[in-house]
Amino acid sequence: MTVEDDGLIAGWYATPDGLSERWHDGRRWTGVTRPAGPRRRPVRGPMPPGWYETGDTRGLRYYDGRQWTRLTKDWQGRPAAMDSPHAYHRAHQVSRGRSRAKSRSSFYTWLVLGVVGVLIVSCALALTPGGAGDAVRRAIGIKGPQRILPAVVPSEASTSYAFMTTDSSGDPVRYDPCRPIHYAINPDGAPSDYASFIQSAVAAAQTASGLEFVYDGVSSDLWASRQNGTDERPVLIGFSDAKDVPALAEEEFGKHVAGVGGSLSVSVEGRLAHYVTGAVALDRSSFARLSSRGMVDEERAIVMHELGHVLGLAHVADPNQLMFADNVGKTTYGDGDLAGLAIAGDGSCR
């Protein structure tokens, strides 16, 4: 009889199903088992200065000496998500339900534009909030960073727009207008005409927002790679399916989710600051169907809608806007979309 040396020290080890534990005597499994005990708290080191336990399972939160901030970490010390995308998604579904009667009568009723809520990541990045930095630079006579493109003044006043996330002062979370928004395309599963309608949609978003987009080329990155983190990677535009992007599986009354989009923000000193990257996932089967029918304007409109989410716009209940949750045949930004995108592009420089 041989004994496998599997390198384990004597102790209780969880079974793969997690329901029980079995005893390893340091040389072999003994066959002795017991029910799994209560889940142990994660092992952690001493608290860093200012960080305290939250008292629940969410990890640590930061006290800046005066008040609790929005900074949180999970037990591994990674920045923790503050708002669940699922919470946003529930709200989104409520508004979509209200708009159902309208959209059902339209030609494109099978097509639903979906959204994934902005995943907000708090972190302790050493960023200087734009306002304070600008004031200091002005006081000492140094020119601060300049916008790349002029701020956009919308030609029509409209209030038919909404933002996904605002900071504690009520300002929307935005991209830095002094830096280009780099983007990359993952063409895996894309229809053959993908480059033309994506570039055209990006150009429309750039014109409406006054934010410069720079194409970094093709990428093999996937949607999941943009769901957390704090580094500034290119915004990813890719084609996917429900296997990789569960939100694309949603379906009601025969309408399919054709795309999802959103951006990641980082907070500085408890204040929501800037978006750092984002992603758009386009449904492969919906785009294959549109492409086979030559409906390039609709393909472009879906990308424009998702880019609206990337730049921070939320859905509105007004079917005259492209940020209406369902595609009812509209293929250009409406006056409310344009007003919202102008504001989205008018953030502060870092």
Binding site for Zn ion (CB under 5 A): 113, 115
The distance of closest approach from Cβ of residue 325 to Zn ion in the complex, given in angstroms and rounded to an integer, is 6
**Is the Cβ of residue 130 or residue 259 nearer to Zn ion in the bound state?**
259
Closer CB to Zn ion, 115 or 344, in the complex: 115
Which H, E and C letters describe the chain, residue by residue? CCCCCCCCCCEEEECCCCCEEEEECCCCEEEEEEECCCCCCCCCCCCCCCEEECCCCCCEEEECCCCEEEEEECCCCCECECCCHHHHHHHHHHHHHHCHHHHHCCCCCCEEECCCCCEEEECCCCCCCHHHHHHHHHHCCCCCCCCCCCCCCCCCCCCCCCECCECCCCCECECCCCCCEEEEEECCCCCCCHHHHHHHHHHHHHHHHCCCEEEEEECCCCHHHHCCCCCCCCEEEEEECCCCCHHHHCEECCEEEEEEEEEEEEEECCEEEEEEEEEEEEEHHHHHHHHHCCCHHHHHHHHHHHHHHHCCECCECCCCCCCECECCCCCCCCHHHHHHHHHHCCCCCC
Please give the residue whose beta carbon sits closest to Zn ion in the complex.
115
Smallest distance, Å, CB 212 to Zn ion? 23
State in angstroms the smallest separation of the CB of 259 from Zn ion.
Answer: 8
Please, which residue, 113 or 208, has the CB nearer to Zn ion? 113
Distance in Å, CB of 264 to Zn ion, minimum:
17
95 vs 285 by CB, closer to Zn ion = 95
The minimum distance between CB 309 and Zn ion, in angstroms, equals: 6
Nearer to Zn ion, 54 or 227 (CB): 227
Smallest distance, Å, CB 115 to Zn ion? 4
Q: Which C-beta is closer to Zn ion: that of 27 or that of 86?
A: 86
Nearby residues of 179 by Cβ (< 8 Å), 6 or more positions away: 148, 349, 350
Give the count of alpha carbons within 13 A of 97, CB side only. Answer: 6
Choose between 115 and 266: whose C-beta lies nearer to Zn ion.
115
Nearer Cβ to Zn ion (33/106): 106
- CA atoms of 270 and 81, how far apart (whole Å): 13
At closest approach, how far in Å is the CB of 311 from Zn ion? 12
Give the nearest distance from C-beta 112 to Zn ion in angstroms. 8
